[in-house]
Amino acid sequence: MGEAEQKQNLELEVGTPVQLQFGTDGASQRYATKIIGYVHPTSIILHTPQNKGKPMLLREGQITTARFLGTNNVYAFVSNVRAVFLKPFPHLHIAYPSEIKSAFLRQAERVRTDIHATAVNLDADPERKVETRIVNISANGALVASADALGEVGAKLRVVIGVEFNDAENGVAVVAVVRNIRKEQSDEGDQYHHGVQFIINTITDYLMVQGVVYSQLSSA
């Protein structure tokens, strides 16, 4: 993942999910919100994030770090709260950044592994869990092996990868699409190998999958 600083090429789209982190210690909780507008080069307008079901109480001048996914990049920048409004709905303005850090989402090399996972075919039977193994994995997808076919090409799966990362006690869950299927023979009998592509919609999805890849690299 290559990093670069950009001055103006910030991909802002209404509806884009954003994570806000208040404080400077790097360990502060991250809160989800969405872009609802922007005025270059003054401010970016966001829904006020919620804490325990209620809009957060924020003050003007409060420092925040914002992160979000563009088309091919992860963006992060430090900003501050310019204004907070309660009407006609809770929203806030944060300062348009002067410096932007971006990381290109390049195709990652797959890492060989042997991780237990479960998979659910969201298109066919969302209640049926199938035991599987992750044969290899990258930030973009994985090779998933199982005794039975998980679905046809194009089927949408929910895969729960059996590793602990970032306090995910029950594994890391990610949605994926089956791109190819082949039948393999092994000592354990026939196995179906599914090439799946992860659906990465938020910065949280991206960081969780990257965490799994890094954990496998470090243990290899």
Which secondary structure element, helix H or strand E, spans residue 51, and what is its range? Answer: strand 50-51
Report the pLDDT averaged over residues 207-211: 76
Number of alpha carbons in the 13 Å side-chain half-sphere of residue 100: 21
Partnered with residue 3 across adjacent β-strands are: 103
Residues 6+ apart with CB under 8 A from 32: 17, 18, 19, 49, 202, 204
Asked whether the beta carbons of 120 and 157 are under 8 A apart, the reply is: yes
- Could you read off the pLDDT of 158-172 as tens digits, one per residue? 999 987 544 445 578
β-bridge mates for residue 174, sequence order: 159
Structural domains in the chain, sorted by start: 3-104 (2.30.110.10), 111-219 (2.40.10.220)
**pTM of the predicted model, to two decimals?**
0.59
List pLDDT tens digits, range 149-205. Answer: 999 999 999 999 987 544 445 578 899 999 999 998 877 778 999 999 999 887 778
pLDDT number for residue 7:
41
The total of other beta-carbon atoms located within 10 Å of residue 198's CB is: 20
Q: Which residues contact 83 (CB under 8 A, 6 or more apart)?
A: 43, 60, 92, 93
